[in-house]
Structure 1
């Protein structure tokens, strides 16, 4: 390659030939160094892209996930301690309720959207869990959002059709709530993939503690909204204590031990000095 790039005259004096050879060597060195730098830059770009992509993936867990993610720790009397949590909740809220060209509708239980429709939880059903109330992080009852990211999961959700189908492992509190929902819908089991958490709280949703099955329709539409439910935690008796919380989804065919995408764990600590 380099031989074709540099032509040496046949009758060049030795001194000139040496000078030309040195020049050639310098050019080769420059090319090698430049090539090496290019490779290093490419490797850096690949590494940065890999890290960035992985950060994006871990920020929104595949399957059931919670916002804010990770270990939540804050002091309700110090705004600086929960600004990150509020920021992540606000961003999710903005993205969820943004206007676009998709046909976004409020879907009642039993409804099945057509191929162009996307179901959404009405904003008013988040109650006190909203940006105006800073998601209650200025109190000992912070809010979290539970959602489900099912772009690549293969688990199929089939809601329970009969109260007798509820598994023995399901918490009794959730069973009681389902019975109330069933009574409200004239002894008919609502088509909901239920969710339970291992700590006392209030669920804010139009549909009870869970995700109606129509939230899993049309997931490939550009404006698809993930299913959400708000959870208001009551931690006034858990000050300066780290509370570990596990949330599980419940439907026919789900085994929370074999299907890790249907469970999520996180911790919350309310600090007061």
Structure 2
């Protein structure tokens, strides 16, 4: 074929860096990164409109969703909710976060650096219960309550932990004396109200006898309480756990319930004081909360809590 009849000739060969420079800006066609300014403008306008419409749609759906929520109470409550109407029982101090699955409280009382980890964990947990200083909130809403004297509307009952000797901050919660304090709390469930064991003739057969006697010796109005009991899980644990005190009382008074998300609400606490646990022995402890509408399930830890205690 004659050279004059050829309609195509290969482009001149260029180097790698020269080719990159032409891609970034082609002075012959005016293209930047392979597109003209007009092409880039159309693409940017399209995506600007597209994402503006998408953001507007998302914002509208979010606004509709927020209209269905009440910031003061959950939409689904008690049996209709995922957490149900059977509160769990928790304990503090918890083991370090690095061992989140552990429930063992293990320390050496003669080593301050060792037991101070646990007392500092309780300091942090009890910050919201302070009267002043860091963590103290909604002081104006907290009032003193007692049996027959519940909190007025819009107020909450105070939990005064400062005088729970020996389970106090200045005393390091008695950890330095090999007789530690463990704090118990009920998990909050909106609207849940306990059904108290007011009739001593209807106490559960599996309730500890010392708790039955305690309830029987109280005035009827003081029985409006979610009771607490702690025992060794196994016969060896029962032998090693030693005597126990419950401070300031043996349960959670009824005037703290129900929880209705009132600002400043504090979950009631019970400090369990282990007076003389056997040293150097692992003790399995099970604590239970007692009310007619609290079901105990050891496997799922419903209405109860398990932890291990070991003091060297």
TM-score where L is the length of structure 1: 0.70
* Deviation (angstroms), 1:79: 0.8
Instruction: Map 1:29-178 to 2 at 5 A.
Output: 63-69=88-94, 70-97=103-130, 98-123=136-161, 125-151=163-189, 156-178=193-215
Q: How many residues align?
A: 217
- Measured in 2, the distance between the counterparts of 1:262 and 1:146 equals 12
The aligned counterpart of 2:76 is none
- Measured in 1, the distance between the counterparts of 2:128 and 2:186 equals 15
* Deviation (angstroms), 1:216: 2.4
The structure in which a higher percent of residues are helix is: 1
The aligned counterpart of 2:247 is 204
- Measured in 2, the distance between the counterparts of 1:72 and 1:144 equals 9
Contact 2:147 2:222 survives alignment (8 Å)? no
* Deviation (angstroms), 1:189: 5.3
Which of residues 293, 299, 303 in structure 2 aligns to 1:253?
293
Note the residue ranges of structure 1 that are not aligned, 5 or more in a row. 1-11, 29-61
Question: Are residue 193 (structure 1) and residue 226 (structure 2) matched?
Answer: yes
* Deviation (angstroms), 1:64: 1.1
* Deviation (angstroms), 1:140: 1.8
The CA deviation string for residues 45-98 of structure 1, in whole angstroms up to 9 with x for no partner, is: xxxxxxxxxxxxxxxxx8311111231111111011112211111112222122
SS at match of 1:175: helix
* Deviation (angstroms), 1:99: 4.6
Q: Which has the larger radius of gyration?
A: 2
The CA deviation string for residues 194-241 of structure 1, in whole angstroms up to 9 with x for no partner, is: 010005311111xx21001221234412311011011110235x1100
- Measured in 1, the distance between the counterparts of 2:296 and 2:142 equals 31
- Measured in 1, the distance between the counterparts of 2:189 and 2:14 equals 70
- Measured in 2, the distance between the counterparts of 1:246 and 1:21 equals 77
Change (3 A) 1:21 1:172: farther
- Measured in 2, the distance between the counterparts of 1:95 and 1:178 equals 31
Change (3 A) 1:129 1:233: same
Change (3 A) 1:74 1:219: farther
Contact 1:109 1:190 survives alignment (8 Å)? no
Q: For the aligned residues, what is the CA RMSD?
A: 2.8
TM-score where L is the length of structure 2: 0.62
